Amino acid sequence: MCTQVQHEAHGERIYDAFYVPEIQHGMEIEKNKYEKARVLADWKEKIRQAWPGMEIYVNGRRDGQLSLGEWIEVRAWVRAGKLQPEDLCVELVYGEADDDLVIPRHALPLEYTKKELDGSFRYEIRLRPDESGSIAYGVRVLPSHPALGGKHEMGLIRWA
How confident is the model over 84-139, as pLDDT tens digits? 999 999 999 988 777 777 778 889 999 999 999 999 999 999 998 877 777 888 99
Q: Where do the DSSP E strands lie in 25-87? A: 55-60, 72-79
Burial 46-69 (b: 16+ CB within 10 A, else e): bbeeebeebebebeeeeeeebeee
Neighbour tally for 156: CB within 10 Å: 16
Contact 86, 1 (CB under 8 A): yes
Over pLDDT 70: what percentage of the chain? 89
pTM for this entry? 0.77
Which domains are present in the chain?
Answer: 48-159 (2.60.40)
Contact 106, 94 (CB under 8 A): yes
Would you say residue 10 has pLDDT above 60? no
Tabulate helix, strand, coil % of the chain (nearest 5): 30, 35, 35
Give the C-alpha separation, 148 to 154, whole Å. 8
Q: Among candidates 52, 23, 29, 28, which has minimal Cα distance to 41?
A: 29
Would you say residue 159 has pLDDT above 70? yes
Neighbour tally for 17: CB within 10 Å: 15
Distances (CA, A) of 126 to 3, 18, 48, 73: 17, 32, 31, 5
* Range from 30-34, 35-39, 83-87 that averages highest in pLDDT: 83-87
- The identity of residue 71, as a single letter, is W
pLDDT of res. 12: 61
Q: Where do the DSSP E strands lie in 80-134? A: 88-98, 101-109, 111-115, 121-127
Q: Among candidates 118, 131, 122, which has minimal Cα distance to 74?
A: 122
